[in-house]
C-alpha cells in the first residue's frame, strides 16, 4: 500500500509486518522497551473484549489476580473505546443498574482522574498534599533501584510483577498497588520514580490515572498510606508467589499491619493499610459530583 507523504501505513498483511514497521518508524523505542504485547489493538479487538464483560463477575472477583477483570483500559486510554460507550454497553447487560455499580464506579474514577489532570496539568507530578508517613520528601530516594526495575529483589511477588509489567505492558490493578506500596513504603522511593517506570511500560499508562493512583498509595492524595502484607497477598494471589519464594522463610511482608506500620512509619503514632479511597460527594437529585483537588473544584 502506498501512503500520502508524511502519512503512516495503516494496513498490513499480518501482525509481524505491523511490528516490523513500527520498529522501523520508531527505532529508539526498542532501547526503551522492545517487548511486543500479546493484547491486540484496534476497534475489532476492543469490541470483542467489551462483549465479554461480566459486571457481576467483575464485582465478585476483581480484587483477585485471576479475577474477571475487563482488560479494556488500553482501548479506553488510546481512544478506541469511550467511557460512555463502555458504560452503555455494561448497562445493556444487566436488568438492574445496581448490578453494574462496582464497574461503573471504576469508570467514574477514571473520568475523575482525567478531569483532575485537566485542572492540574504538569502539577500532577507534584505532591497534592503532604504525605502522612512521618518521613520528609527529601528522605525518599529519587531513583528506582535496579533490583526492582530488573526483577532481582529475591521476593517472588515483586520480581514477578516487575517481569510481567516489562514483558506484557499490563499488571492487574491489585498488583500495581502492591508493587507501588513496596516501592514507596518498603523501599522508601519517591512515588514519581515508580510512576515514570509504569508509564514506560503500561499499555494503558496515562499520567492521570497512573500518577494519582501512585499518590493515593503514597498518601499524598489520600488520608493515610497504603501498605499490604503477606496474608493479603496470599488471599488475592493464592500460593503463586509465596510457595516458591526464596525469601519465604524470612519474608519482610510476613507481619500484621500494625507491626508493619510501626516498622515502616516509626515517627507516626499509628498507621494502617488503606482499604478504600474517599469517594466524591454526589449532589443529590442532579447526579453531579464535586471534589477538591489542590484547591480547585472539579465538577462532573
Listed in sequence order, the DSSP H helices in the chain are 15-25, 29-32, 43-51, 55-61, 73-77, 83-91, 101-120, 146-149, 156-168, 173-181, 191-201, 207-218, 230-237, 257-264
Examine residue 225 and state whether it is found in any structural domain, yes or no.
yes
The number of domains in the chain is 2
Could you report the per-residue pLDDT of 52-76, keeping only the tens digit for each? 999 999 999 999 999 999 999 999 9
pLDDT value at 299 more than 90: no
Q: Mean pLDDT across the chain, nearest whole number?
A: 89
SS3 154: coil
Check whether residue 149 and residue 117 sit in a common domain: no
Report pLDDT digits (tens) over 178-224.
Answer: 999 999 999 999 999 999 999 999 999 999 999 999 999 999 999 99
Of residues 253, 245, 201, 205, the one with CA closest to residue 228: 253
85 lies in which domain range? 33-121
pTM of the complete model beyond 0.75: yes
User: Domain boundary at 58, 89, 121, which?
Assistant: 121
Is 153 in the same domain as 255? yes
Query: Looking at the domain assignment, is residue 297 inside a domain?
Result: no
Residue 5: pLDDT band (50, 70, 90) is: low
Question: 191 in a domain, yes or no?
Answer: yes
CATH assignment at residue 255? 1.10.579.10
Q: Does the residue 1 lie in any domain? A: no
Same-domain status, 84 and 211: no
Q: At what angle do helices 173-181 and 230-237 cross, to 10 degrees?
A: 160
Main-chain dihedrals φ then ψ at residue 116, nearest 5 degrees: -65, -40
- Whether the predicted pLDDT of 263 surpasses 90: yes
User: Which CATH number is 39's domain given?
Assistant: 1.25.40.80
d(CA 262, CA 256): 10
Amino acid at each position: 500500500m502506498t501512503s500520502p507523504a508524511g502519512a503512516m501505513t495503516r494496513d498490513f498483511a499480518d501482525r509481524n509486518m505491523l511490528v516490523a514497521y513500527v520498529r522501523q518508524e520508531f527505532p529508539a523505542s526498542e532501547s526503551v522497551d522492545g517487548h511486543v504485547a500479546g493484547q491486540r489493538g484496534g476497534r475489532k479487538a476492543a469490541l470483542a473484549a467489551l462483549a465479554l464483560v461480566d459486571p457481576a463477575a467483575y464485582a465478585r472477583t476483581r480484587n483477585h489476580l485471576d479475577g474477571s477483570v475487563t482488560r479494556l483500559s488500553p482501548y479506553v486510554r488510546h481512544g478506541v473505546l469511550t467511557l460512555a460507550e463502555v458504560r452503555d454497553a455494561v448497562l445493556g447487560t444487566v436488568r438492574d443498574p445496581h448490578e453494574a455499580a462496582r464497574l461503573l464506579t471504576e469508570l467514574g474514577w477514571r473520568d475523575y482522574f482525567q478531569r483532575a489532570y485537566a485542572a492540574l496539568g504538569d502539577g500532577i507530578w507534584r505532591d497534592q498534599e503532604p504525605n502522612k508517613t512521618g518521613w520528609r520528601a527529601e528522605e525518599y530516594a529519587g531513583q528506582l533501584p535496579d533490583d526492582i526495575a530488573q526483577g532481582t529483589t529475591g521476593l517472588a511477588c515483586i520480581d514477578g510483577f516487575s517481569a510481567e509489567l516489562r514483558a506484557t505492558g499490563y499488571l492487574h490493578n491489585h498488583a500495581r498497588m502492591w508493587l507501588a506500596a513496596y516501592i514507596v513504603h518498603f523501599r522508601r522511593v519517591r512515588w514519581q520514580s515508580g510512576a515514570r517506570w509504569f508509564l514506560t511500560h503500561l499499555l494503558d499508562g496515562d499520567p492521570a490515572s497512573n500518577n494519582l493512583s501512585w499518590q493515593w498509595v503514597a498518601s499524598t492524595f489520600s488520608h493515610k498510606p497504603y501498605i499490604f502484607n503477606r496474608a493479603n497477598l496470599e488471599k488475592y494471589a493464592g500460593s503463586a508467589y509465596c510457595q516458591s519464594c526464596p525469601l519465604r522463610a524470612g519474608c519482610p511482608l510476613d507481619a500484621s499491619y500494625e507491626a508493619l506500620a510501626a516498622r515502616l512509619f516509626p515517627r507516626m503514632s499509628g498507621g494502617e493499610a488503606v482499604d478504600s479511597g474517599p469517594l466524591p460527594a454526589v449532589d443529590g437529585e442532579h447526579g453531579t459530583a464535586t471534589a477538591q483537588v489542590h484547591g480547585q473544584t472539579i465538577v462532573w
